[in-house]
Structure 1
Amino acid sequence: MALKIFRESFLFFTLAFFCLLIMMMSFRFSEAQMVPAMFVFGDSVVDVGNNNYLPLSVRKANFPHNGIDFSTKKPTGRFSNGKNAADFLAEKVGLPTSPPYLSLKNNKNRASLFMNGVSFASGGAGIFNGTDQALHQAIPLTEQVDYYATVHQDLVNQLGSSGAQQHLSKSLFIVVIGSNDILDYLGSSDLRNKHTPQQFLSLMTTTLKEQLKRLYGNGARKFVITGLAVLGCIPSERVKMQTEECNEEANYLAGKYNDGLKSMLQELQSELNGLSYSYFDNYSVLYNLIKNPAAYGFTEVKEACCGLGKLKAEIPCVPISTYCSNRSDHVFWDLYHPTQATVRIFVDTIFDGPSQYTFPINVRHLVAV
């Protein structure tokens, strides 16, 4: 009898101990998770696989040598040798990477799967709808926001209006877009004939503003917005120059757009009650890496790691391409995109950087607002 009581007591205390352990683990997880969710909008810099689900699109990265430094050593649809900015930023706030929306779109349990956020980003996407939509090569920003509106409704159905608003008001909305619009303008005589550079840049900012207002109308309050990089210094632009130096016209347009973007964000904050944002000066940070690579551990700033031809930028990173043995030496992975090593520096700066590069506040402070 005594042995039976001992066994039952031992079993009870063992179960109680494991319950307490699980509770402690849950508590630690909730402490690590700084925001309820992260919703990602943008282009190939933050695409985690949406383009894999566009049957007609050739703008994909679901083949080698992409993903060579990813945890699985396999291509995932990221335009990178490993993780991209969306992955690193999710890690910073204690969340799993937001999954591609198109992978969940038809899932019956999608509302519960959206709770920690979702990514709408698509390689090749722009602020404008572009000229390739007949073939659906990418999901433009307008359509990404349309998709988010359906996610918002699913969350309202699951949490109720006030519950969804509380959930979303504490979440982060990441927007990384605009590079493809500038590159399209540079390469299109039709666009140049239709708009002066200033007209085109102004149209970009006003169009983006309308989409940000739509997100705000569906619960978004905390935005992380990245400016454009020094586009003229990416391998695809350098290779067009006989000297292999940066394309200064592309850099000029990117810089002028960033000026307009910063002004627009200040206006938007004054117009919309409760809106907060962190702007990342991508241009200055990448420019610093290129001008002083040794300080950041890089040795190659012009040539892509993966590709073929001059600067490995005449043919993209495809299975027949060659790639560098040490990806951490290179600023650029392919003719357009940074390496995982470069992106890690970007996200460290976005999250904890000084006001010189992230303003009016960095993401750590944005989370605490």
Structure 2
Amino acid sequence: MGLTATTLLFVSIFISWWIVGGSVALPPNVTVPALLVLGDSIVDTGNNNNLKLTLVKCNFSPYGQDLNGGVATGRFTNSKTPGDLLVTEFGIKELLPAYLDPNLQSKDLLTGVSFASGGTGYDPQTSTLMDVISMEDQLKMLKEYIEKLKSIVGEDKTSYIINNSVFLMVASSNDLAITYFTAGLRRFQYDVPSYADFLVSKCSNIIKELYDLGARRVAVFGAPPIGCLPVQRTLAGGLSRKCVDEDNDAAKLYNTKLSSELDFLSKTLSQSNVAYIDIYNPLFDIIQNPQTYGFHTVDKGCCGTGDVETVFLCNKYSKTCPEHAKFLFWDSIHPTEAGYKILVDRVVRENIHKILGGG
């Protein structure tokens, strides 16, 4: 590889650190050249925008209302996603672009992209049901990305980026909340424990594929308390719209199984850090103690009535709450940036050494 490509890589990383500034103290002698994300709408930064068949889109108002002048980018929130917040935390850059963004430039690839697709899950039936990009196809996109990297910086520097980047995986909510409970597509085939095993197996297989591609730092979000999502409260929480215990219990069981499997993988995949990231308990704590975190509404979204509005039901005709930062949820499924900031700050600081090593 020529000097120009080498210089391009390290100058890009240096400039990003100088402009953005790392918010979290990295372990000694540890760098994070890029963040690479696979998953669902929590971390989709615009990949669904040009999908022709799916209804799972948000490239319209009021989504993105508080980001870059209020122009919707395909992020399922009012501003930044966890992926955006993490690249800032790692001092890499300000926003994490979507891999399918038509305006994506070669230099953007060096510091990371999101392959995520809103509505997807580990269960192949979930992406089929929602007409979105499956996790398997996201892996294909990642492989394509790696080949593009090689053409830009060569084999050696591509290996360096893949080996040292953080891979973030965020899925399972749609599998549990939609495919299993709401649509009931898997209920005749699996009980909750066996379906959790099925999802964990799918997740594990993806991690092994990432490892074979050179990934050594993999962080996996567990399932949130899906029974406390505003839409689930509305659909199954009764007249009082309580959190749905059955849904939450399924999420907790899945998380227990996932945590155990990730611990096993971290021990058996040589020189790897495979970290389970607990999202359930931090989010549930916010829901139980909203005022402690500066929120006054945690059972409704900011968009429309807040009971059911999400994707196309949350649109330019929907009014939004006057104080976005006081609502935990933007629509009936997805948190506001204010909610994400609290979660990301907590999980990064509690898991940084587990994700990166060096501590």
Task: Tell me the amino acid that sits aligned with residue 212 of structure 1.
Answer: I
Normalising by structure 2, report the TM-score.
Answer: 0.86
Q: Residue by residue, what CA displacement relative to the aligned partner does 1:32-55 show, whole Å, maximum 9, x if unpaired?
A: 464111101111011110001212
Whole-angstrom CA distance in 2 between matches of 1:73 and 1:282: 28
User: Could you give the per-residue CA deviations for residues 47-68 of structure 1, whole angstroms, max 9, x where no partner exists?
Assistant: 1100012122211111111111
User: Which residues of 2 match residues 62-211 of structure 1 at below 5 A?
Assistant: 62-96=59-93, 97-103=95-101, 110=106, 112-130=107-125, 133=128, 137-183=131-177, 184-211=179-206
| Counterpart secondary structure, 1:256 | helix
Task: Choose 1 or 2 for highest CA Rg.
Answer: 1
CA contact 1:95–1:116 (8 Å) conserved in 2: yes
Q: 2:192 touches 2:250 (CA, 8 Å); kept in 1?
A: yes
AA matched with 1:177: A
Pick which of 51-60 and 280-289 moved more: 51-60
Map Cα deviations across residues 249-299 of structure 1 (whole Å, 9 max, x no partner).
110110000001101101111221011033221100011101111110011
State how far apart, in whole Å, the 2-side matches of 1:234 and 1:155 are. 39
Letter in 2 for 1:205: V
**In 2, Cα distance between equivalents of 1:71 and 1:364:** 32
Listed as ranges, the matches of 1:30-45 within 5 Å are 32=21, 34-45=31-42
**Residues 298 and 329 in structure 1, CA contact (< 8 A), matched pair in contact too:** yes
Task: Give ranges in structure 2 of 5+ residues lacking alignment.
Answer: 1-10, 23-30
The amino acid of 1:73's aligned partner reads G
- Give the direction of change, closer, same or farther, for the CA distance of 1:27–1:168 in structure 2 (3 Å limit): closer
Identity %: 32
Q: Which residue of 1 aligns with 2:5?
A: none
d(CA) in 1 for partners of 2:256 and 2:270? Answer: 23
2:261 to 261, 264, 275: 264
Compared CA separation, residues 296 and 153, structure 1 to 2 (3 A):
same
> Please, what is the CA RMSD of the aligned residues?
2.4
User: Does the C-alpha gap of structure 1 residues 40 and 132 become closer, same or farther in structure 2, counting only changes over 3 Å?
Assistant: closer
Question: Contact between 2:229 and 2:332, CA under 8 Å: does it hold in 1?
Answer: yes
Cα offset, 1:154, TM superposition = 2.6
What stretches of structure 1 of length at least 5 have no aligned partner? 1-21, 354-361
Contact 1:172 1:222 in 2 (8 A): yes
SS of the residue 1:331 aligns to = strand
Between stretches 149-158 and 38-47, larger displacement belongs to 149-158
TM, length-normalised to structure 1: 0.84
Mapped pair 1:279 → 2:276: yes
- Answer yes or no: is 1:317 the counterpart of 2:314: yes
Q: Distance in 2 between matches of 1:182 and 1:48?
A: 22
In structure 2, do the counterparts of structure 1 residues 223 and 312 end up closer, same or farther at CA, with 3 Å as the change threshold? same
2:43 to 37, 42, 46: 46
